[in-house]
Structure 1
Amino acid sequence: MQVSRRDVLRYATAASALVGLGAASACAGTPTASAAAPTLIDFAARQIPARDIRAAGHSGVINYVSTSRPGSSFGAKPITLPYAQSLTAAGLVIVSNYQYGKPGGTAPSDFRRGYAGGVADARTAWQLHTAAGGGRSAPIFFSVDEDIDRNTWNSVALPWFRGINSVLGPQRTGIYAGINPCQWAAADGVIGRSSTPGRVWAWQTRSWSGGQVYPAAVLYQRVVSTASNPGPAVGGLSVDVNDVLAQDCGQWNLHP
């Protein structure tokens, strides 16, 4: 099978990312046409045992440093110290994400809470992140989990990120969003930079991205699990799957 130059570069990026992840699923060798980037999963319903994550071939998790919305009870919110320790002991890596509200949920999207909301959310996220053993220099990715235009970014989401920055600083702040807010966040200087050259703390979802991938993103949510189109099952739970695009994607073990 012919392998294009683009594929060779993609496989090389995947191989280098595995070095930083240090997951049990990593393996050395010459990339082949079936090679793929290492993957992290994200989920909320309950904690998935580390052994099941390893058995499914994933390198780690993106887990919540936020609590459940009113009327809901997500077992993986927030990540706990014992669970984090079990993941680390299994050679899996952890990346932190904050999301409390959601469009159409019992609490509105977090980014609609303004500057003061950003301050409060950052304080909550940092307390939960550190209580679970999260690295002191590790970023936390804050979610913009809906499609927004530039005006909404400028007038609503950006002040929220400024509030987050006032607590954590831009270098410990990341974004989860479609491609446009990821680019706007980087341009406005409200998210930090990975130690991987050319990469920023952008976790991009395929949703609202028109099939494009932001070249500076460190993570790409390739599989978005929904009720009508569930993601792959890991430990009996359907999960989202994220490709690792940079050796340093904000994992705790690289940011003590």
Structure 2
Amino acid sequence: MGSFPSGRVTRRAIIKGALAAPLIGLAVSTFDPPRAAAANGKLIDFTELQVPADQIAAAGYTGALVYVSELRPGATFDFKPVTRKYADALRALGLQVVSCYQYGKPGWPTPSDFTRGYDGGVADAQTASRLHAAAGGPDTAPIFFSIDEDIDQSTWKSVAVNWLRGINSVLGVERTGVYGHAGVCKWAIADGVIGQSTTPGYRWAWQTRAWSDGVRAPAAVLYQRVIVTASDPGISLGGSHVDENDILAADYGQWDLDR
């Protein structure tokens, strides 16, 4: 991922050393969609390499957040964008799938997505919608768009909210979700740029513990509690390291739920 300028450190730093375990996805062409999982389970999200579906199931997770974004130039992740084959493998094992989007990152030639404003939001939503559909994602499920750095309210009001409004113009507010710290989640709710879960009182907010200073956004459907950093490798799974997310609502944006 490279180094980051002072003051712009992201939540995911490089893990030293390469992980060489082979990753083999399950090829599944047909399946019966599982029933939606209840709240209080856990999802993983990928930080280094894609974890085989059977290993996610064996570890007892409810499912995974998958990326409906292109791989930025110079990155080597094998989980962007998610493929139909991999999504089918997860679902065939009864695992739940949730879509998220992140292309740019601070310190790279491709900066954080939100910095590109309204027009960038339009373009990002178009890409996310295309890749989500190609992987088998339904047009009723939300997509969570990442604000993966410590922004303040001034930056939110001047730049980030306009990016989300661009996303709204393509997906509609009802399918727009956001990832970020507690403030980002609360500002997105207050400004009406993210949709509502079918679980009363919850919105499409995926809160990270990073930069939240112990504050919780009570309407968030997901909480990223374990985060891979340079000093903490997170959860070891499938020859890789993953973040772990608590499910806080029965409807947290999973594909296999009638809405």
Provide the TM-score with structure 1 as the length reference.
0.85
Contact 2:221/2:248 (<8 A) preserved: yes
Matched, 1:177 2:180: yes
Give the structure 2 partner of residue 54 of structure 1.
57
Deviations 1:104-162 (A, max 9, x none): 12310000001100000000000000000001110000000011111100110011011
1:71 aligns with 2:71: no
Structure 1 vs Structure 2 CA RMSD: 1.4
Contact 1:147 1:208 in 2 (8 A): yes
Aligned partner letter, 1:20 = A
For residues 147 and 252 of structure 2, the distance between their equivalents in structure 1, rounded to whole angstroms, comes to 18
Other-structure match for 1:4: none
Question: C-alpha distance in 2, partners of 1:210/1:233?
Answer: 25
Q: 1:97 and 2:97 equivalent? A: no
**The 10-residue stretch of structure 1 (224-233 or 179-188) with the greater mean CA deviation from structure 2:** 224-233
Residue in 2 aligned with 1:188? Answer: 191
CA–CA distance in structure 2, aligned partners of residues 98 and 120 of structure 1: 12
Question: Hey, which of these two has a bigger chunk of helix by percent?
Answer: 1
Is the 1:39–1:242 Cα contact (8 Å) retained in structure 2?
Answer: yes
Q: Does 1:21 align with 2:24?
A: no
Aligned residue in 2 for 1:42: 45
Greater length-normalized contact order (CA 8 Å, ≥ 6 residues apart): 2
Partner of 1:145: 148
Aligned to 1:218: 221
Q: Does 1:83 align with 2:80?
A: no
Aligned to 2:247: 244
Instruction: Tell me what 2:119 maps to.
Output: 116
List structure 1 segments (4+ residues) > 6 angstroms apart after TM superposition: none
Aligned: 1:134 with 2:137: yes
Structure 2, unaligned runs of 5 or more: 1-34
Task: Work out the CA distance in 1 between the residues paired with 2:109 and 2:88.
Answer: 31
* Alpha-carbon displacement from aligned partner over 1:52-110 (angstroms, at most 9, x marks no partner): 00111111001100011111121000110000000000000000000001111231000
Alignment partners' CA distance in 1, 2:62 and 2:230:
25
Q: Report the counterpart of residue 204 of structure 1 in structure 2.
A: 207
Q: Is the 8 A contact 2:101 2:146 kept in 1?
A: yes
2:58 is aligned with what amino acid?
A
2: CA distance, partners of 1:238 / 1:116? 34
Q: CA deviation at 1:241?
A: 0.1
How much has 1:164 moved relative to structure 2? 0.3
1:177 Cα deviation after fit: 0.2
| Aligned position for 2:257 | 254
Question: Is contact 2:47–2:243 with CA below 8 Å preserved after alignment?
Answer: no
1:8 aligned residue: none
Corresponding residue of 2:164: 161
Identical-pair percentage: 61
1:50 corresponds to which letter in structure 2? A
**Following TM superposition, by how much is the alpha carbon of 1:224 offset from its aligned partner in structure 2, in angstroms?**
0.6
| Amino acid aligned to 1:148 | I
> Are the structure 2 counterparts of residues 225 and 56 from structure 1 closer, same or farther at C-alpha, using a change threshold of 3 Å?
same
Number of residue-to-residue matches in the alignment: 225
SS in structure 1 of the partner of residue 82 of structure 2: coil
Which of 106, 109, 120 does residue 106 from structure 1 map onto?
Answer: 109
SS in 1 for 2:220: coil
Give TM-score scaled by structure 2 length.
0.84
Would you say the 8 A contact 1:136–1:255 is kept in 2? no
